[in-house]
Amino acid sequence: MPTWFCSREWFCHVGKFDEGGKGIPEDLLFFYKHVQKGGGVFRVDQCLLLYRYHPQAATHSVLEGTIWNHRVRFLEDQVLKHWTSFTIWNAGKQGKKLYRSLSPANRKKVAAFCDVDRNKIVKGFYTYEESEERSKPKIPIQHFRDATPPFIICVKMDLTGGVFEKNLNELNLKEGLDYYHFN
């Protein structure tokens, strides 16, 4: 689980936690305000802290859907508003869920899905059946090597024995410019 820290001065500048009550992901919302106010983020790829929690912890009161919705809105506000088009890397469950969760304006920016699964690629496209448009949107599904950046990656790291990471590295892309992880 990622963790982060900042000075007390910065904490007060950002505006402290939203103590609005049970079910509010106050740490996530604080982190988003931190980024929006120009706060930096530096990744350290080693364990720095070990968490312990109990079954009555407040973290269990935050619904998964609440966190998902905040994450999608933040992605749209901080990343997608700067892009005219993009590719969702994962034509499976998570990629389609992200697509369906996007605002109509950002759904129109999705140029394609990309994947490595031959069955999905052979199918050729994803039809957004829930669309209110008369002609349902059909989004192409391509092999990742044929897809055009930028990418929003909906693939969990460390689950493919390094295959996904190898594929991503082969493309010589820069995180934060050519792609963002959303997993």
Taking only the tens place, the pLDDT of each residue in 9-37 is: 988 898 878 777 777 888 888 888 898 99
Specify whether 6 is located in the same domain as 43. Answer: yes
pLDDT at 1 over 70: no
Specify whether 53 is located in the same domain as 94. Answer: no
Specify whether 69 is located in the same domain as 145. Answer: yes
Give me the number of domains the chain comprises.
2
Specify whether 56 is located in the same domain as 75. Answer: no
pLDDT category of residue 161 using cuts at 50, 70 and 90:
confident
- Per DSSP, the chain holds a count of helices (H) and strands (E) of 7, 6
Which pLDDT score, from 0 to 100, does residue 2 have?
A: 62
Amino acid type, 146: D
Of the three residues 42, 62, 82, the one that is the final residue of a domain is: 62
Specify whether 48 is located in the same domain as 58. Answer: yes
Q: Which two tokens stand for residue 180?
A: 């963002």
Of the three residues 62, 83, 105, the one that is the final residue of a domain is: 62
Specify whether 130 is located in the same domain as 170. Answer: yes
Specify whether 27 is located in the same domain as 69. Answer: no
Which pLDDT score, from 0 to 100, does residue 71 have?
A: 94
pLDDT at 159 over 90: no
What is the spatial distance between Cα 126 and Cα 90, in angstroms, rounded to a whole number?
A: 11
Give the pLDDT mean for 46-63.
76
pLDDT at 69 over 70: yes
What is the spatial distance between Cα 31 and Cα 5, in angstroms, rounded to a whole number?
A: 10
Q: Determine the Cα angle at 45 with ends 83 and 178, to 5°.
A: 15
- Domain limits for position 5: 1-62
Pairing of strands 125-127, 110-115: unpaired
pTM for the structure as a whole: 0.83
What is the spatial distance between Cα 139 and Cα 120, in angstroms, rounded to a whole number?
A: 12
Specify whether 83 is located in the same domain as 162. Answer: yes
Torsion of CA 55, 71, 93, 133, to 10 degrees: 140
Q: Which two tokens stand for residue 3?
A: 């963790």
Specify whether 23 is located in the same domain as 35. Answer: yes
